[in-house]
Amino acid sequence: MAEFDVIIIGAGPGGYVSAIRCAQLGLKTAVVEGRETLGGTCLNVGCIPSKALLHASHALHDAETNFEKMGLMGAKPKVDWAKMLAYKDEVIGQNTKGIEFLFKKNKITWLKGWGSIPEPGKVKVGDEVHAAKNIVIATGSEPLHLPGVTVDEKVIVTSTGALELPKIPKSMVVIGAGVIGLELGSVYARLGSEVTVVEYLDTITPGMDGEVAKTFQRLLKRQGLDFVLGAAVQSAEVRKGKATVSYKLRKDDSAATLEADCVLVATGRGPYTDGLGLAEVGVEMEKRGQIKTDSHWQTNIKGIYAIGDAITGPMLAHKAEDEGMAVAEVIAGKHGHVNYDVIPGVIYTTPEVATVGRTEESLKEEGRAYKVGKFAFMGNGRAKAVFQGDGFVKILADKETDRVLGAHIIGPSAGELIHEICVGMEFGASAEDIALTCHAHPTFSEAVREAALACGDGPIHS
C-alpha cells in the first residue's frame, strides 16, 4: 500500500493546480483521475475547447464582415468542420499533455482510475487502497438535466455533445441563456446556424449587471441570435432526427413550439460526487448537493478537504484553481486564502463581457451610496480602428470613499481589461487611483481609465 501526504481526487483545474502546489511545498502527492487525460472538464470539454471554437468562428465572422472594409479582398473562407474540430482537439491535446508534463516535473503520481474513500485516510482506486494523510476532493461538476428533456448527445446535447457535433446544424435551440449557452450559441450562429435561445427568466445572464445584460442581448441579436425570454421549457422530443421543443410563456401560460436540428441543454451544472462513498464516510453535504466545507476547505471529517465545482461558489476554473492553491497551503501548515469578493467572471463572446465585484442592483438592495463612472468604447480610438466600438466600461465606487466596489465591461478584450480592476480592488484602490495611473495610448485599457475618470471630474473623450 502506497502512502502519500496528499491524495487529490480529480485532475481538473482545482485538482491539478492543488497537486502542483502541494508538490512544490514538499508534500508527497498523488492525483486520482478516471478520465483518459488530465485537466478535467475545463481542458477536455469546457473552457479550452469552447474558446478554440469561439476563436475559429470569430475569425470567420471577421473575415466575412471586416476584411473587405480594410481592403483585404479575396474569396470568402469556407468552413471545413472536420478540420475545425481537429484544430480544437489539437488544442485540447496540447493542454492536457502539458499537465502530464507538469506532473512528471513535480513528481506527482497519477493514480489512473475512479477513486473512492472507503474510510478517512484511505483512497481506493480499482482494487488498490492507498493511504493518505490528507484527501482533497476535486471531482468537479456535470450538466444538470431538465425534466421532460432527454439528452442523447446527438440531437439533444449538453455542452459536451455541442463541442463535437457531426455537422453544423441548420438550426439550433439553446435552452438556457447563461454563459455556456450563449458562448456555444454564438459559435454556431457565426457558423451559419439559426440559433434561438429559450430562457426561463426575463433576462439573459441572470445575476449580471442589468445594463450590461441588456446591451449584450441587443448585440447578440444583431449577430443573428433570437431570444424567447420568460419561457418555461416543457419538453423536447426527437422525431426523424429533428427536435421539437415545447415551452410555455410564463406571462400568460400560452404554449408554443420550436423545431430544430439540434437542441443544446445549457441549464447549468451541478456538483459531481457519485461513487466517492461520501455518505458512508459521513461527509456532510449542502442542500443542493455540494460538499460542505469550512473556511479552510475542510469537510466535517478531519483530513478530508473539498474544492472547486464540487463545493459552493461560482463554478469557474480560476475559482477552483485558487482554492486548489489555498488548500495546499493549508495542508502544508501555511496560510491559504481566497478573496471571494474579487473573482472575475468572463463571457468569451464578441464582444466579451467581464464583471467583478458588486453590481448596481446589489448595491441598491443593500442601500449603499455609490457612484457610477461609465465610458463607451465608441470614444476609444483603438476600439474603433478594429471595428469594436460597441459596449462600455462601468466602474462602481463608494460615494464617500471612492473605493472601487465593482466593474462591468462589455467590449473588446473585456476579459483581459477586468484584471486591472481586480488588482486595484485587491489593493483597496479608489477610482481616482486608476484615473491617475498613466495608461498607454492607443489601448482598450484607456476606456477603463476614462470610466475611472468618470467617477470623478469626468472623462476626456466623451
Ranked by CB distance to ligand FAD, the top (closest) residue is: 140
- Residues in contact with ligand FAD, counted by CB under 6 A, come to a total of 37
Q: What's the min distance (Å) between Cβ of 100 and ligand FAD? A: 13
Residues numbered 260-279 forming contacts with ligand FAD, rule: CB under 6 A = 272, 275-276
Residues 6+ apart with CB under 8 A from 96: 37, 38, 39, 43, 44
Q: By C-alpha distance, which of 104, 132, 118, 109 is closest to 1?
A: 132
Residues numbered 168-187 forming contacts with ligand FAD, rule: CB under 6 A = 180
Q: Which residues are identified as catalytic? A: 441
Residue whose cell numbers read 484511505:
122
The x, y and z cell numbers of residue 348, run together, are 468569451
Per-residue DSSP letter, 224:
T
Q: By C-alpha distance, which of 188, 224, 233, 186 is closest to 205?
A: 186
When the beta carbons of 113 and 381 are compared against ligand FAD, the nearer one is 113
Residues 6+ apart with CB under 8 A from 337: 326
Type of residue at 46:
G
Instruction: Tell me whether strands 109-112 and 29-33 are parallel, antiparallel or unpaired.
Output: parallel
Q: What's the min distance (Å) between Cβ of 211 and ligand FAD? A: 23
Torsion of CA 20, 29, 25, 419, to 10 degrees: 30
Q: What's the min distance (Å) between Cβ of 263 and ligand FAD? A: 16
Only one of the segments 34-42, 222-230, 232-240, 362-370 lies at the binding site for ligand FAD (rule: CB under 6 A); that segment is 34-42
DSSP 128-171: EEEEEEEEEE---EEEPP-TTB---SSSEE-HHHHTT-SS--SE
Q: Is 451 in the site for ligand FAD (CB under 6 A)?
A: no
Cα separation, 230 vs 243, in Å, equals 21
Q: Is 92 in the site for ligand FAD (CB under 6 A)?
A: no
* Chain CA centroid to CA 275, Å: 26
Residues numbered 95-114 forming contacts with ligand FAD, rule: CB under 6 A = 114
Q: Is 283 in the site for ligand FAD (CB under 6 A)?
A: no
Residues numbered 10-29 forming contacts with ligand FAD, rule: CB under 6 A = 10-15
Only one of the segments 39-47, 148-156, 238-246, 427-435 lies at the binding site for ligand FAD (rule: CB under 6 A); that segment is 39-47
Residues numbered 328-387 forming contacts with ligand FAD, rule: CB under 6 A = 348
Cα separation, 437 vs 420, in Å, equals 11
Q: Is 315 in the site for ligand FAD (CB under 6 A)?
A: yes
Residue among 29, 159, 380, 445 that touches ligand FAD (CB under 6 A): 159
Q: What's the min distance (Å) between Cβ of 400 and ligand FAD? A: 34
Q: Is 138 in the site for ligand FAD (CB under 6 A)?
A: yes
Residue among 308, 344, 373, 459 that touches ligand FAD (CB under 6 A): 308
Contact positions vs ligand FAD (CB under 6 A): 9-15, 32-35, 40-42, 46-47, 50, 114-115, 138-141, 159, 180, 272, 275-276, 308-310, 315-318, 320, 348
